[in-house]
Amino acid sequence: MEYIKTIYLKDDKLFILDQRLLPNEEKYIELKDEKDVYNAIKNLAIRGAPAIGICASYGVYISLLKYNYKNFTEFKTKSKEVINFIGSSRPTAYNLFYCLKRIENIINSTNEINEAINLIKSEAIKIHNEDLEKSEKIGENGLLILPNNPRIISHCNAGGLATGGGGTSLSIIYKAKEKNKNIFVYVDETRPLLQGSRLTAWELKKQNIPYQVITDNTAAFLMKMGFVDLILVGADRIAKNGDFANKIGTYSLAVNAHYHGIPFYTAAPISTFDFNIENGNQIPIEQRDKFEVIKFSDSIVAPIDSDVYNPAFDITPHNLITGIITEFGIIYPPFYENISNLIEKVWIK
């Protein structure tokens, strides 16, 4: 299956598919420096936890190429500044910090400017390629939990647009399609920025996977009518006890799935796990601009001076999760114990 090229580096220039324009226009834009990278991540031109991390890694590389340095100390000071700046673009998705940490570690492994720059480039490419492989493995591992003829609710976009490969939770759907499984997806539109209807539906249509777009508030009724076999979502940050942050509305899906006895899975690579935190209360939740809610496309849909509460993510507690699908396999309860078993193997300090 051919996946969307969400991000690429060509002749030391960084390009991304501008996701703000989808599904109406497929346009690649160049990100020329750390300000472009910061804005692209902040304004969701590129979004989805793994894709943000990949973009940030390449972003450090192309930004550091622009400057002249008198010596390594000056280079190191600038690299710290660029890493911190790009890292301040969005607070919730852990992949951003995981990838920037890897870039920082690689810089610390040398004291020569040209070598450092080359190492950053190869580390960014490695992060990108690894993500592609992780998507494949998550997809294959996820096949194990699919019943026959599954009808699945998806939320936000955890597909090719959000990763370096086919996605996390959508990768499972793509693998099922490759195996000729009869699969059907209910696509939550995902208010306020419609990553479901704009992006997931666009991806599924491209891959010829049958779907219906639903408003977010339709999901519970579909469950009640017995039309849903499984909920499959992505994750932005997973704590040591399995609590996880994902797009706002994920928690409602989990509560409704629990009530109706429907399996609820999240899929994510290990780079989404934050082994520094014990539980979901410690995950920073991004608050976004009130106009994302007050405006719908170009129309004003609430009194313009309304006060708005607009968290981009919510936390789903581990007791509502059936399993976490990773590139290493599926993690089941007890989550604290089973996630801890992974820590020593894979943690980047």
Quick check: 219 binds ligand MRU (CB under 6 A)? no
Quick check: 156 binds ligand MRU (CB under 6 A)? yes
Q: Residue 86 carries which side chain, given as an amino acid letter? A: I
**Cβ(48)–Cβ(57) below 8 Å:** no
Nearer to ligand MRU, 48 or 91 (CB): 48
Tell me, what DSSP letter sits at residue 246?
A: E
Nearer to ligand MRU, 47 or 318 (CB): 47
- In whole angstroms, the minimum distance from the beta carbon of 189 to ligand MRU comes to 13
β-pair type (244-247, 7-10):
unpaired
The radius of gyration of the chain's CA atoms, rounded to the nearest angstrom, is 20
Quick check: 41 binds ligand MRU (CB under 6 A)? no
SS3 annotation, 276-316: CCCCHHHCCCCECCCHHHHEECCEECCCCCCCCCCECEEEE
Nearer to ligand MRU, 151 or 191 (CB): 191
Nearest to 260 by CA among 233, 232, 215, 222: 222
Window 113-152: residues binding ligand MRU (CB under 6 A): none
Q: DSSP 3-state assignment of 204?
A: helix
Nearest to 309 by CA among 281, 295, 290: 290
Nearer to ligand MRU, 256 or 271 (CB): 271
Quick check: 99 binds ligand MRU (CB under 6 A)? no
Window 273-312: residues binding ligand MRU (CB under 6 A): 312
Nearest to 120 by CA among 9, 7, 276: 9
Q: Residue 144 carries which side chain, given as an amino acid letter? A: L
Q: In the set 7, 45, 93, 238, which binds ligand MRU (CB under 6 A)?
A: 93
Q: In the set 234, 242, 249, 323, which binds ligand MRU (CB under 6 A)?
A: 234
- For ligand MRU, the nearest residue by Cβ is 234
Q: Residue 283 carries which side chain, given as an amino acid letter? A: I
Quick check: 89 binds ligand MRU (CB under 6 A)? no
Q: In the set 162, 172, 176, 187, which binds ligand MRU (CB under 6 A)?
A: 162
Quick check: 195 binds ligand MRU (CB under 6 A)? yes
Q: In the set 57, 89, 246, 271, which binds ligand MRU (CB under 6 A)?
A: 246
- In whole angstroms, the minimum distance from the beta carbon of 100 to ligand MRU comes to 16
Place of tokens 């607070």: 91
Measured CA to CA, the distance from residue 139 to residue 274 in angstroms comes to: 22
Measured CA to CA, the distance from residue 155 to residue 188 in angstroms comes to: 5
As given in the structure block, the two tokens for residue 100 are: 């920037």
Nearer to ligand MRU, 79 or 195 (CB): 195
As given in the structure block, the two tokens for residue 33 are: 């420096």
Quick check: 165 binds ligand MRU (CB under 6 A)? no
Quick check: 242 binds ligand MRU (CB under 6 A)? no
Active site residues: 236
As given in the structure block, the two tokens for residue 229 are: 């076999």
Quick check: 163 binds ligand MRU (CB under 6 A)? yes
Q: Which stretch binds ligand MRU (CB under 6 A): 20-28, 47-55, 65-73, 213-221?
A: 47-55
∠ CA 155-96-62, rounded to 5°: 120
Nearest to 264 by CA among 116, 155, 159: 155
Q: Which stretch binds ligand MRU (CB under 6 A): 65-73, 215-223, 231-239, 324-332?
A: 231-239
- # chain residues binding ligand MRU, by CB under 6 A: 19
Q: Which stretch binds ligand MRU (CB under 6 A): 21-29, 98-106, 156-164, 314-322?
A: 156-164
**Cβ(244)–Cβ(266) below 8 Å:** yes
- In whole angstroms, the minimum distance from the beta carbon of 200 to ligand MRU comes to 10
Contact residues: ligand MRU, CB under 6 A: 44, 47-50, 93, 156, 158, 162-163, 167-168, 195, 234-236, 246-247, 312
